Amino acid sequence: MINRAKTGRNFLAAALLGLLAAGPAAGQADSLGSITRRLQQYAQRDPHEKLYLHLDRPLYLSGETMWFKVYAAEGAHARPLALSSVAYVEVLDAKNQPVLQGKVALKNATGHGYFTLPTSLPAGSYRVRAYTSWMQNFSPEYYFNTAVTVVNTRQASGAPKADSVAYDAQFFPEGGNLVQGLRSRVAFKVTDPAGHGVAATGQVLDNKGAVVATFATQQLGMGSFFLTPLDSQQPYTAVLKPSGSPARPVRRALPRAFGQGYVLRLDDTSPTQLTLTVNATGQQPETLYLLGHSRQKVALTARLALANGQATYAFDKSQLLEGISHLTLFTAGRQPVCERLYFRAPTRHLALAASADQPSYAARAPVSVQVAAPGQMGRSSVSMAVYQLDSLATTPPAAIEEYLWLVADLKGYIEAPGTYFAATEAARTAADNLMLTQGWSRWRWEDVLAGTAARFGHVPEPNGPIITGRITRAGTNAPAPWTMAYLASPSRTLRLSNSLSNADGRVRFELGPLPGPRELVVQTDPRQDSTSQITLLEPFSTSYAASALPGYGLLPRFAPEYARRHLQAQTQRVYLDRRRPALAPETGDTTSFFGKATETYYLDRYTRFKVMEEVLREYVPGVVVRIRKDGYHLMVDDLINKALLGNNPMVLLDGVPVFNMNKIMALNPLKVQKLEVMDSRYVHGAAIYDGLVSFTTYKGDLEGFQLDPHALVQQYEGTQAQREFFAPRYDTPEARQSRLPDLRNLLYWNPNIGLAGATPQTLRFYTGDQAGRYLVVLQGLAADGKAGSQQFTFDVKPAL
């Protein structure tokens, strides 16, 4: 009976049979307690992860740099969540084709990165989205999504894509369905092609054309009206007219009414209380169950007794968690029949105080901004952007608190999300209309109540990217199960991972942090498998949200602004971009994956031999060289058991396995700087090695060594190397008098502002040569889950 298109959830009623009691009164505590326990178990298996991106600005010119900071938070209370070490960030065009993709390293639940937009990128609206590997187990509607505008002043742009007469209207009965003879509230939403609300008025007509209800939008294209369907076989049609539009009226069919069923209504009866009313077509006494839950947390349970087809239940708003709650109604027959969403605006905010030392500045003048979190205990992570406002400025994305507490838990585009956070009657009414028209749930009751561990295709990545692949039999797409594969990245920092393929031929490798571009070598042991093929799988998601992007087109009235932006971008590239600092060098743990070797030899400290056999026989007592009919074999002396291990050890060259001992013995030892030995059996992942012998060259690049033809060698783009935002300083007379133009649109970007409690911090930067008004935007998340934003403006005066 629930309108599933509205809620986005498929209920599995059979799963409730073992959870709700057979007797309504006696079994209530046990029934709802079982659901609570199942939700807790599900929450432990399914950590609720959200990402938020603070973009430096909402509009760019092609060729400019897009800077961003990533915040990772857990879903229930918005506290920072260090579950993932990698965020996948993409820029998509209107056809969901990736324009730019990048992996951003996360540390302590934050990270930052950038994209340089190609100069050839066409003008238009683009989608920026971000997600983790774990988030790919769920709908792409749950990924972070926001729209940005790109202007390309070098290329001609088409006309605006938006069709001003292509309005859409949707109707949503409260609780899920219309029922014959029961008065229902019906919410509606009228939007343009970009998803923006449109003011409209309309009428509801029965099958004879008689008017049975009238309605008008209240705010952002949404509103509601009451309707009592008289006949389940009778269709109802809404005819609406967008305000101020010459277009023909829009006609939409309302959902058909059911002959029997339940209707739910939720009323805001006082500043502190809500009242839920249930009406049913049957007049016999009946028991219903109410469950209120928010982001996998049970907040409210109740037993309702229907008398003469009606039941009411009043409860305090404080019983519901902050943010969005789902109120689900079950019958005594364990069937979910109605659901209603309610938004409780959060009262906990990160109060950010920020101000500049002056309201206006001259060109190339120092600006001092003091930032603090008054009243906050503990540490807060904050980011700040300063950019110029002009007539091209588009709607900014949701602030961090608006996103984490509202937007992330709803499906589709949410217009002006800050509207719903005000402590006013109008804001509460608008939020109620939004809940009636925009319902969505991240998870399904079937998964929660099944009682078995859910199978997730993607796993969290707490220690760096997890590289997945598939092994298939030669010449076919048939999987090659239970085959051992090895993955390495040639380097002086030795990293090796192995994986045994599952029944589908899937393998997973984990090498730890992988910054920057590098080469990967994937192979099986040719002595055991020489025919199968290995393919590395794309780590980026290929599922996309259904919401449309805003239309775009160059407008003649903005020609002066386009010209000014074009000049800004050109001077930036010519005079400032070449002064950017180089990428930060790779840092991190340089310890080999096996830790400290039993024996380590730096060959430059010994007499150099030209034959590898002589090196091993003379210097390395832990390795015994044997020559048999098929060539060389190496045997490691097991120091623990005082015996030679029977098989060849795992032999590595710059971390890459080499299984042919004849080839390693033919290696020129003058190219090897270091030799390490593990003098015992070594357990590594799914494999056990009879010792380990590692050769490291001077450059860590294999020194031209020819790998087995069976090995897959593939270029891999790791996490982004860090680049600091560059801005010129005018702290000397010579710098202030420089004739190099400074027409920056973005004056300042800092993703790493750490506030310790309420202690203020002072940030300094310089204005450029471009006069105008500048917007300062701060976003922040505290360790206790308080999220907050702040913004203010200052002016730069024209040079005299």
Residues 135/143, Cβ–Cβ less than 8 Å: yes
Q: Kindly list the strands in the beta sheet with 237-242, ordered across the sheet, starting from the edge strand earlier in the chain.
A: 211-216, 200-205, 237-242, 250-253
Beta-ladder partners of 168 = 191
Q: What is the pLDDT of residue 560?
A: 76
Q: Would you say residue 361 has pLDDT above 90?
A: yes
Quote helix, strand, coil % in the chain, to nearest 5: 15, 40, 45
| Whether the predicted pLDDT of 21 surpasses 70 | no
User: Average pLDDT in the 76-94 region?
Assistant: 94
How buried is 167 (Cβ within 10 angstroms: 0-12 exposed, 13-18 middle, 19+ buried)?
Answer: buried
Least confident of 164-168, 222-226, 563-567, 743-747: 164-168
pLDDT of residue 642: 87
Please report, as a single letter, which amino acid is at residue 722. Q
- Do 16 and 336 meet the contact criterion of CB atoms below 8 Å apart? yes
**Percent of the chain topping pLDDT 70:** 88
Tell me which DSSP letter residue 574 carries. I
What pLDDT band is residue 77 in, cutting at 50, 70 and 90?
confident
pLDDT at residue 450 in the model:
67
What is the rounded radius of gyration, in angstroms, for the C-alpha atoms of the chain? 32
| pLDDT tens, residue by residue, 110-158 | 999 999 999 899 988 999 999 999 999 988 999 999 999 998 877 654 4
Pair 328, 339: CB distance under 8 Å: yes
Maximum CA pair distance of the chain?
Answer: 104
CA distance readout (Å), 797 to 359, 365, 424, 571, 677: 11, 10, 38, 20, 68
Within 10 angstroms of residue 231's Cβ, the number of other Cβ atoms is 13
Which H/E stretch holds residue 49?
strand 49-55
Alpha helix ranges (H) inside 331-424: 400-405
Of 425-429, 457-461, 556-560, 788-792, the range with the lowest mean pLDDT is 556-560
Angle made by CA atoms 469, 474, 475, in degrees to the nearest 5 = 110
pLDDT confidence tier of residue 3, bands split at 50, 70 and 90: very low
**Strand, helix or coil for residue 231:** coil
- Determine the pLDDT at residue 669: 95
Contact 2, 177 (CB under 8 A): yes
| Rounded Cα–Cα distance for residues 442 and 139 (Å) | 7
Task: Report pLDDT for 216.
Answer: 95
Q: How many CB atoms lie within 10 A of CB 492?
A: 16
Q: Return d(Cα 207, Cα 233) in angstroms, integer.
A: 10
Smallest Cα–Cα separation from 469: which of 512, 526, 530, 521? 521
- pLDDT bucket at 10, cuts 50 / 70 / 90: very low
Q: Are 249 and 239 within 8 A, CB to CB?
A: yes
Query: In which region does residue 334 sit, left (phi positive, over 0), alpha (psi from -120 to 50) or beta (all else)?
Result: left
Q: Please, is 673 exposed, middle or buried when counting C-beta atoms within 10 Å of its C-beta (0-12, 13-18, 19+)?
A: middle
**pLDDT on residue 30:** 43
**Block residue for tokens 């900071």:** 69
Q: What is the three-class DSSP state of 501?
A: coil
Q: Per this entry, what is the length of the chain?
A: 800
Reading the block at residue 466, the tokens are 């997890």
pLDDT of 325 reads 92
pLDDT of residue 187: 95
Distance, C-alpha 751 to centroid of its chain: 18
pLDDT in tens, 257-288: 999 999 999 999 999 999 999 999 988 888 89
pLDDT for 585 equals: 58
At residue 164's C-alpha, the angle toward residues 159 and 167, to 5°, is: 135
* In the predicted structure, residue 565 carries a pLDDT above the cut 60: yes
Q: Encode pLDDT of 157-204 as tens digits.
A: 444 444 445 788 999 999 989 999 999 999 999 998 778 899 999 999
Are β-strands 366-372 and 360-361 bridged in parallel, bridged antiparallel, or unpaired?
unpaired
- The torsion angle over the Cα atoms of residues 42, 46, 48 and 53, rounded to 10 degrees, is -170
DSSP letter, residue 243: T
- In tens, the pLDDT along 781-790 reads 999 999 999 9
C-alpha–C-alpha distance, residues 510 and 487, integer Å: 9
- How much is the mean pLDDT over the chain? 87
**Which pLDDT score is estimated for 284?**
80
Please tell me the distance from the alpha carbon of residue 291 to that of residue 298, in angstroms, as a whole number: 7
- What is the pLDDT, as a whole number, of residue 171? 95
* Among candidate residues 744, 565, 605, 638, the one with its CA nearest the CA of residue 67: 744
Quick: pLDDT tens for 642-685.
Answer: 899 989 999 999 999 999 999 999 999 999 999 999 999 999 99
- Give the span between the Cα atoms of 6 and 174, in whole angstroms: 10
Residue 263 near residue 247, CB atoms below 8 Å:
no
pLDDT, residue 631, reads 94
Is the per-residue pLDDT at 243 higher than 90? Answer: no
Residue 497 has pLDDT above 90, yes or no: yes
**pLDDT given at position 26:** 35
In Å, what is the CA distance from 30 to each residue of 270, 319, 329, 561? 32, 20, 17, 66
Mean pLDDT within 597-609: 93
Mean pLDDT, range 207-232, rounded to an integer: 93
Strands lying side by side in the sheet with 533-536: 506-510, 466-472, 533-536
Task: Say yes or no to pLDDT of 365 above 70.
Answer: yes
pLDDT at 468 over 90: yes
Give me the residue label for tokens 């909402």: 58
- Output the pTM of the full model: 0.89
Asked whether residue 20 carries a pLDDT value surpassing 60, the answer given is no
pLDDT (tens digit, 9 = 90+) per residue, 505-539? Answer: 999 999 999 999 999 999 999 988 888 999 999 99
pLDDT bin (cut points 50, 70, 90) of residue 28 is very low
From 268, 418, 433, select the one nearest 345 (Cα to Cα).
Answer: 418
Greater pLDDT, 183 or 566: 183
Residue 709 contacts by C-beta under 8 Å, 6 or more apart in sequence?
none
